[in-house]
Amino acid sequence: MKAYTSMTQEELLQEKTALENEYKKIKELGLDLNLTRGKPSPAQLDLSMDMYDMLHSGIELVAEDGTDCRNYGGMEGIGEAKRLLAGFMGCWPQDVIVYGNASLSIMYDSISRSMTHGVLGSTPWCKLDRVKFLCPVPGYDRHFSITEHFGIEMINIPMTPEGPDMDLVEKLVSEDDAVKGIWCVPKYSNPQGITYSDETVRRFASLKPAAEDFRIYWDNAYAVHDLYEDERDELLPIMNECVKAGNPDIVYQFCSTSKVTFSGAGMSAMAASEANRESIRKQMSVQTIGHDKIKQWVHCRYLKDMDGVRAHMKKHAALVRPKFEAVETVLEQEIVSRGIGSWIKPKGGYFICFESMEGCAKAIIAKAKEAGITLTAAGAPFPYKKDPKDSTIRIAPTFPDIEEMKQAAQALAVCIRLVSAEKLLQA
Amino acid sequence: MKAYTSMTQEELLQEKTALENEYKKIKELGLDLNLTRGKPSPAQLDLSMDMYDMLHSGIELVAEDGTDCRNYGGMEGIGEAKRLLAGFMGCWPQDVIVYGNASLSIMYDSISRSMTHGVLGSTPWCKLDRVKFLCPVPGYDRHFSITEHFGIEMINIPMTPEGPDMDLVEKLVSEDDAVKGIWCVPKYSNPQGITYSDETVRRFASLKPAAEDFRIYWDNAYAVHDLYEDERDELLPIMNECVKAGNPDIVYQFCSTSKVTFSGAGMSAMAASEANRESIRKQMSVQTIGHDKIKQWVHCRYLKDMDGVRAHMKKHAALVRPKFEAVETVLEQEIVSRGIGSWIKPKGGYFICFESMEGCAKAIIAKAKEAGITLTAAGAPFPYKKDPKDSTIRIAPTFPDIEEMKQAAQALAVCIRLVSAEKLLQA
């Protein structure tokens, strides 16, 4: 297939006319497909339903240490839940505080606490004139919503195949004491599916921030969400590296079981150094009577340990992988060969991040919408919803069924080609 | 029995010597009883265990409106949960936002949001020099911990048998725009068990605050927690009164199922006007992907409606009432007759609030502790843990078993008598 950039004006015009016909036919199909949210499919949720066969009136809801999981108390979570989620995060059980149903709420809470109470005795951020966060882009829209909600200034950091541009991170963190944090999804990053290299993790652990209250917000959301058994990415556990670098307090790590068992009905956790936890505990003792220990109990009995988690995640992968492959096959055949876009093949996570030609993403998303395919809004993976190159399109393949996914991918390919041809004709 | 105040010095000395002997014998029993926390007993928690027989792999976890309760979404809760908890709070289902496992966290969050973002567009409280809250006393220690945590100045408001002293409340609220809120437990108040009269509720609804961002924090924690079937208190629903008074935005109401099903593993809710909810929704959409809808689903199927809730609460009452009566019988026989203390007989809730002679509470609690009976720390039901009269002792009868409760009450009576005699001898 010929690359669009090698086509003559005439060839492009011909191509455009043919694509307009194809696009018209697609519109006539009356599709209604939604590729916006990284949600598990019903079939994935079915995988965990037998968890509830473990909960019944004949059971004793008692934790390993004798705690009655039905009553108040146990603010930091039951021991077996700490142990299990430490496995997700590559840290020690004692590093872990177990929370409620969503890690997003823990991150919100961490920022909110820093606004009102500072970090380990620092000035509360609400008393400062400027607070800044570094935002590797493209990134997770909900991270950026939190920082925007609190009026925190966001600075784009380009992603590389190894993780965020660490030269820039090191420079900004060490020079500017208004820089208080950085959002990271270190494994199978949202949306590109990049896993940070060992060197990147070590450079994070060794940061020398100008601000004593700078923290790395390490959202390990896809810690166990591999698509392939034999070529999964390994993320170097950051907390141990921080300890080795003499920087134990610099990181807050987060994870959840939302895409392992049930979304919004699982458990979440934070891991942090003893000093950080001591300070967080003070807040928690005011804020909560403890999180849901029955849910912790049943999750621990059901998933057992990391072997159990891996075995369970293989079942997810078997459902999800064909959907990723369907999209990738179409993109490879229809787009790469024509030189009008690219993506990094993810080995896990929930997204494919397509990079169109510059200045085309908005138009492609609008065209797809008109044909009944809803994609994540252009700009969503960027602070202030502004994609400087207008080229990033986040595709979430997990929720639709495989046939829908194929249909959507083919229709999307036509939209990409049509918009790219139009763009080149304008040039 | 002779009142201590009518005794001669000599009689008091005799009494004291006899009591010292009794106290010594109690100490020799080596008791280890804890009357500090308003926790349900294991037998109460057993009452709800059959809820979990409704959750199993064969069930469809679908809400009335078709929502898959296992997936993301439904930020404000499923319709049937809103309806059920509206019944607790005497409001309309549309007034309700369903949250996670604890109403305490909603209250914390409401204050935290006001600190960082203000209330309906008002100046964020963290930007103000002074923020004050009115605190009816004695009250709920965890309320006061929240306001103290945020550096909010707390002002004591005396309780009357009808509720807080409304003359004082009206005066302070209308005169001082630094007064931003008042903590209320309007039914079976913690710790006195007082239910606010209709007039008190109407005066609350008609408050004319100097501060536009003043809110009543209406913690309806014991909405359905009656001890007696035939003489239960009825609380006038406040939200309707606020609407009638042209004051729809003045109240935030809270409730939970923590002492209905499982403590810390139930669901909680907030009710507020449309304007308040609209503003809260903006925050929630940043803060959470929605609360646990599987828990909502099973609670709704299990409790069904307010008739179901009342029937379930009768079973709780049958377990709890004898424990309250055990304490009250002892106090009546040993203390009232001697004129050295009083309490308001509660018709519901979780506490008995004993008022000793002035200046005796600390000493009584210390004496009890020495004899193996742990009571809530002196001062706990007051802002800054300071009981101005040193006379309030909160007794939580629900958790220990009935025999332990009787033993504890008798031992406590000896401590009260001994400290009172000593006090009168010093006078």
pLDDT mean over A310-330: 97
Q: Give the pairing type, strands A251-256 and A268-271.
A: antiparallel
pLDDT at A321: 97
- Separation between Cα atoms, residue B272 and residue B239, nearest integer Å: 8
pLDDT at B36: 87
* Total length of chain A: 427
Q: Which residue among A49, A73, A101 sits closest to B57, beta carbon to beta carbon?
A: A49
pLDDT mean over B402-416: 95
> Within an 8 Å CB–CB cutoff, is residue A42 touching chain B?
yes
Nearest to A261 by CA among A46, A77, A38, A96: A46
Cα dist from B233 to B308, B314, B367, whole Å: 19, 15, 35
Prior bond to A138 cis, omega within 30? yes
Is the pLDDT assigned to residue A229 strictly greater than 90?
A: no
pLDDT mean over B199-222: 98
A187: tokens are 């494994």
Residues of B in contact with A40 (CB under 8 A): 71
pLDDT at B393: 97
Q: What is the ipTM of this complex?
A: 0.96
List the single residue in B with minimal CA-CA distance to A290.
B264
B15: tokens are 């009494």
| A58, burial (CB in 10 Å: exposed 0-12, middle 13-18, buried 19+) | exposed
CB-based contact B375:B365 (threshold 8 Å):
yes
Is the pLDDT assigned to residue A1 strictly greater than 90?
A: no
Q: What is the pLDDT of residues A346-396, one digit of tens each?
A: 999 999 999 999 999 999 999 999 999 999 999 999 999 999 999 999 999
- Residue A34's φ and ψ, nearest 5 degrees, are -120, 115
A142: tokens are 């909900």
pLDDT mean over A43-47: 98
Confidence label for B38 from pLDDT (cuts 50, 70 and 90): confident
Q: What is the pLDDT of residues B237-266, one digit of tens each?
A: 999 999 999 999 999 999 999 999 999 999
Residues 6+ apart with CB under 8 A from B322: B402
> Within an 8 Å CB–CB cutoff, is residue B8 touching chain A?
no
List the single residue in A with minimal CA-CA distance to B61.
A49
DSSP category for residue B50: G
> Within an 8 Å CB–CB cutoff, is residue A392 touching chain B?
no
* Cross-chain Cβ contact B149/A283 below 8 Å: yes
Is the pLDDT assigned to residue A230 strictly greater than 90?
A: no
pLDDT mean over B139-156: 98
Q: What is the pLDDT of residues B8-30, one digit of tens each?
A: 999 999 999 999 999 999 999 99
Q: Which residue among A263, A286, A289 sits closest to B264, beta carbon to beta carbon?
A: A289
Query: Which parts of A85-222 are beta strand (E)?
Result: 96-98, 132-137, 153-160, 163-164, 179-184, 215-219
Q: Which residue among A55, A102, A286 sits closest to B145, beta carbon to beta carbon?
A: A286
B118: tokens are 């203000």
- Interface contacts A/B by beta carbons within 8 Å: 159
pLDDT mean over B91-99: 98
pLDDT mean over B265-274: 97
pLDDT mean over A87-94: 98
Q: What residues of chain B, 268 to 307, have a C-beta less than 8 Å from chain A?
A: 283, 285-295
pLDDT mean over A23-50: 94
* Cross-chain Cβ contact A68/B45 below 8 Å: yes
Average pLDDT, chain B: 96
Q: What is the pLDDT of residues A166-189, one digit of tens each?
A: 999 999 999 999 999 999 999 999
Residues of A in contact with B292 (CB under 8 A): 100-101, 264-265, 292, 295
List the single residue in A with minimal CA-CA distance to B399.
A71
Confidence label for B230 from pLDDT (cuts 50, 70 and 90): confident
- Separation between Cα atoms, residue B271 and residue B276, nearest integer Å: 9
- Separation between Cα atoms, residue A257 and residue A267, nearest integer Å: 6
- Separation between Cα atoms, residue A95 and residue A89, nearest integer Å: 10
- Separation between Cα atoms, residue A4 and residue A421, nearest integer Å: 7
Helix axes A9-28, A402-426, angle to 10 degrees: 150
Is the pLDDT assigned to residue B327 strictly greater than 90?
A: yes
- Separation between Cα atoms, residue B299 and residue A111, nearest integer Å: 32
- Separation between Cα atoms, residue B137 and residue B387, nearest integer Å: 9
* Cross-chain Cβ contact B292/A101 below 8 Å: yes
Question: Which of A56, A258, A293 to mutate to test binding with chain B, by most B CBs within 10 Å of its CB?
Answer: A56
CB-based contact A336:A355 (threshold 8 Å):
no
Ramachandran category for residue A345: left, alpha or beta (phi over 0 → left; psi -120 to 50 → alpha): beta
pLDDT at B104: 97
Nearest to A204 by CA among A134, A266, A156: A134
pLDDT mean over A203-226: 98
pLDDT at B7: 95
A12: tokens are 């492009």
> Within an 8 Å CB–CB cutoff, is residue B100 touching chain A?
yes
Residues of B in contact with A45 (CB under 8 A): 68, 70-71
Q: A392: which strand partners?
A: A355
- Separation between Cα atoms, residue A243 and residue A253, nearest integer Å: 14
pLDDT mean over B82-102: 97
